[in-house]
């Protein structure tokens, strides 16, 4: 077997093993059980609760949880705008990077608060060290908020009738201190020992092997890279993200970072099974997610390892695979694997340039973001999948002539309307804004927005809004995206696409939790079986195909057929 494929399989198997163990631990954290980190972290948690005057034992209903989530994000958004627009004169700026204009600051702060990390700037020249540290803080906050929202939904899914669903702030703090912080510390230490910088000194002057003198950016990179991967944030300390040797020095660090991307999203699925004591349900969800993931991964690996036929026509050897836009130290398989991993989650970091992928290989990451529920982001990945479960339960109930039920609660018109609105929001944002951008560029071809015309140029615009709506943050970087149009419109898409898809599932779960619990009987539609998993998979395929096939046909499919 090809050694590159062995590397990919090894990374995925290690991820699953670690995710299963982490899932047990997360379930204990959310349920308030004792863990081995309690003696160390209890004082830290209590300090936060004491300063903020929060009683972690005071339970909230779903509406109070959503108010808490929105309040946290509004406060940090305003603080972030203040820092980004003034960092030029603020401390920790040894390289004298300038402050951001309002539209770029808006895009950047929204991007990090929403767990998107779409970067219309180059990190080493566009942000001071203070700015990088603030953005790193936001990577903890956005990931912790998503996990807390998932914990609220987990609580609502228990087999009982309830109005109170735990304390959002308690879940939020513990997600940050008990899960994200310890894991980030471990990953950051590994990266530091492999050469990733962790310093507050400015640029260092070096002499290259050919005798040129150049200034090399450094900074507190290791800490930011760790949380960017673990929190499915993806924002790079450097402009070229994890393809830069300082962020991702070698194949070993590439393995560690790739594992980090998938680790918590998969672990949360297992945590659901342990928390609800419904392991079959967790395995059903994991099975559907993994089936979709493999449907995207396998053809992408094959295409990228097979080389680019257009470059082959130029007489350039493609026996090593399609290496355009890729790092030699990783190769095509590890690069393709990362491309799918980072887009089926809401991570968005890159170790190769997605704009250089062959047309169909570029389509599969887009498709992963358009589905936006195969593993997904920390917390919100499950919430997006929860919407598909509700839709599948409703359709299955109609097919067998029974009132749809999920975990002993009747799914009625109100919940179904919310689920459909949340599902339709994603294609609406992507397609409407891509259409608007296409129309404006048609009217003003002189605008320097696209470096590539035709089908690939359309794919660049489609990818940008798909990435924004999926809270992913990666891009087809042939796009000239640091303009008021892209900064403002992508910011709007990121805001809407982050918070409404959290509000919807939490609202559905809260409404269902209040309903009378009906124990399962012989006539109950079981949702933890392989047959129901196939039903959910079919619902995902049909709905996503109906929503996005036309747009994909105008972009990557048309480019492929024209080769």
For the chain, 563 residues long, the average pLDDT of each consecutive 10-residue run is 88 97 96 92 93 91 94 94 95 93 96 94 92 95 96 91 92 96 97 95 86 88 96 93 95 97 97 95 96 97 92 87 93 96 95 93 96 92 95 88 84 93 96 93 78 87 96 87 92 96 95 88 80 95 95 94 87
- Measured in degrees and rounded to the nearest 5, phi and psi for residue 326 equal -120, 160
Q: What is the pLDDT of residue 61?
A: 94
Please enumerate in sequence order all residues whose Cβ is within 8 A of that of 419, keeping only pairs 6 or more positions apart, or say none.
Answer: 387, 390, 391, 394, 504, 508
Please enumerate in sequence order all residues whose Cβ is within 8 A of that of 12, keeping only pairs 6 or more positions apart, or say none.
Answer: 262
Is 523 buried (19+), middle (13-18) or exposed (0-12) by CB count in 10 A?
exposed
Eight-state DSSP code of residue 409: E
Q: What is the pLDDT of residue 1?
A: 55
For 484, half-sphere exposure in the C-beta direction (CA atoms, 13 angstrom radius) is: 2
Contact 358, 304 (CB under 8 A): yes
- C-alpha–C-alpha distance, residues 108 and 402, integer Å: 48
Q: Is 399 helix (H, G, I), strand (E, B) or coil?
A: helix
- CA neighbor of 24 nearest in space, from 13, 33, 15: 33
Tokens 């006539």 belong to: 523
Contact 251, 128 (CB under 8 A): no
DSSP string, 319-375: TT---TTB-TTTHHHHHHHHHHHHHHTT----SB-GGGS-HHHHHHHHHHHHH--SS
The dihedral through the CA atoms of 419, 423, 426, 429 has a sign that is: negative
Alpha-helical runs (H) found in 473-523: 484-514
Eight-state DSSP code of residue 53: T
Host domain of residue 554: 3-561
* 213-216/405-406 β-pairing: unpaired
- C-alpha–C-alpha distance, residues 168 and 459, integer Å: 39
Is 411 buried (19+), middle (13-18) or exposed (0-12) by CB count in 10 A?
buried
The number of distinct structural domains making up the chain is 1
Q: What is the pLDDT of residue 527?
A: 87
Please enumerate in sequence order all residues whose Cβ is within 8 A of that of 418, keeping only pairs 6 or more positions apart, or say none.
Answer: 504, 507, 508
- C-alpha–C-alpha distance, residues 466 and 554, integer Å: 15
Q: Which residues of 133-158 are buried (b: 16+ CB within 10 A; e: fewer)?
A: bbbbbbbbbbbbbbbbbbbbbbbbbb
Contact 167, 152 (CB under 8 A): no
Number of neighbouring beta carbons within 10 Å of residue 215? 11
* 204-207/213-216 β-pairing: antiparallel
* 409-410/405-406 β-pairing: antiparallel
Q: Which residues of 334-363 are buried (b: 16+ CB within 10 A; e: fewer)?
A: bbbbbbbbbbbbbbbbbbbbbbbbbbbbbb
Tokens 């406060």 belong to: 75
**What's the predicted TM-score (pTM) here?**
0.95
- CA neighbor of 536 nearest in space, from 328, 392, 381: 392
Q: Cα separations (Å) of 200 from 67, 88, 132, 217?
A: 37, 16, 11, 11
- C-alpha–C-alpha distance, residues 18 and 340, integer Å: 20
* Chain-centre distance for alpha carbon 379: 10
- C-alpha–C-alpha distance, residues 88 and 489, integer Å: 25
Q: Is 215 helix (H, G, I), strand (E, B) or coil?
A: strand
Eight-state DSSP code of residue 207: E
Q: What is the pLDDT of residue 277?
A: 93
The dihedral through the CA atoms of 544, 548, 549, 553 has a sign that is: negative
């Amino acid at each position: 077997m090809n050694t590159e494929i062995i590397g990919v399989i090894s990374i995925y198997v290690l991820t699953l093993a670690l995710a299963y163990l982490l899932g047990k631990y997360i379930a204990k954290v959310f349920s308030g059980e004792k863990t081995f980190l309690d003696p160390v972290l209890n004082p830290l948690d209590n300090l936060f609760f004491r300063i903020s005057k929060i009683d972690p034992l005071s339970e909230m209903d779903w509406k109070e949880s959503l108010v808490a989530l929105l309040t946290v994000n509004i406060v940090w958004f305003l603080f972030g705008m203040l820092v980004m627009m003034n960092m030029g004169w603020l401390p920790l700026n040894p390289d004298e990077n300038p402050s951001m204009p309002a539209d770029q600051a808006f895009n950047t702060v929204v991007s990090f608060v929403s767990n998107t990390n779409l970067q219309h700037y180059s990190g080493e020249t566009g942000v001071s060290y203070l700015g990088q540290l603030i953005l790193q803080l936001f990577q903890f906050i956005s990931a912790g908020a998503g996990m807390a929202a998932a914990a609220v939904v987990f609580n609502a899914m228990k087999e009982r009738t309830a109005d109170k669903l735990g304390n959002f702030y308690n879940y939020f703090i513990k997600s940050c201190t008990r899960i994200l912080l310890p894991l980030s510390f471990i990953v950051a230490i590994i990266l530091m020992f492999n050469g990733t910088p962790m310093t507050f000194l400015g640029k260092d002057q070096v002499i290259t092997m050919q005798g040129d003198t150049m200034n090399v950016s450094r900074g507190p990179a290791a800490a930011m890279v760790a949380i960017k991967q673990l929190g499915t944030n993806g924002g790079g300390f450097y402009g070229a993200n994890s393809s830069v040797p300082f962020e991702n020095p070698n194949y070993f660090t590439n393995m560690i970072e790739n594992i980090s991307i998938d680790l918590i999203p998969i672990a949360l699925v297992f945590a659901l099974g342990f928390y609800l004591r419904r392991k079959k349900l967790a395995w059903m969800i994991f099975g559907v997610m993994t089936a979709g993931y493999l449907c995207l991964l396998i053809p992408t690996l094959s295409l990228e390892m097979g080389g680019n036929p257009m470059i082959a026509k130029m007489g350039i050897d493609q026996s090593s695979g399609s290496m355009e836009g890729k790092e030699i130290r990783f190769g095509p398989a590890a690069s393709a694997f990362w491309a799918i991993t980072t887009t089926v989650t809401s991570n968005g970091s890159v170790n190769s340039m997605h704009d250089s992928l062959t047309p169909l290989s570029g389509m599969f990451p887009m498709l992963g973001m358009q589905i936006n529920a195969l593993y997904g982001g920390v917390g919100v990945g499950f919430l997006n999948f929860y919407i598909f479960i509700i839709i599948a339960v409703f359709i299955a109930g109609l097919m067998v002539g029974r009132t749809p039920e999920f975990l002993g609660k009747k799914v009625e018109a109100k919940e179904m309307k919310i689920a459909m609105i949340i599902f339709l929001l994603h294609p609406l944002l992507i397609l409407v804004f891509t259409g608007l951008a296409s129309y404006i560029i048609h009217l003003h071809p002189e605008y320097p927005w696209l470096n590539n015309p035709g089908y690939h140029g359309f794919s660049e615009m489609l990818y940008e809004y798909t990435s924004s709506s999926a809270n992913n943050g990666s891009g087809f970087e042939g796009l000239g995206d640091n303009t008021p149009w892209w900064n403002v419109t992508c910011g709007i898409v990121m805001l809407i696409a982050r918070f409404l898809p959290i509000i919807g599932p939490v609202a559905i779960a809260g409404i269902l939790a209040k309903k009378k619990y009906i124990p399962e009987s012989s006539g109950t539609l079981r949702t933890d079986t392989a047959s129901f998993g196939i039903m959910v998979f079919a619902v995902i395929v049909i709905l996503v195909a109906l929503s996005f096939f036309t747009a994909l046909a105008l972009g990557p499919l048309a480019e492929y057929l024209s080769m």
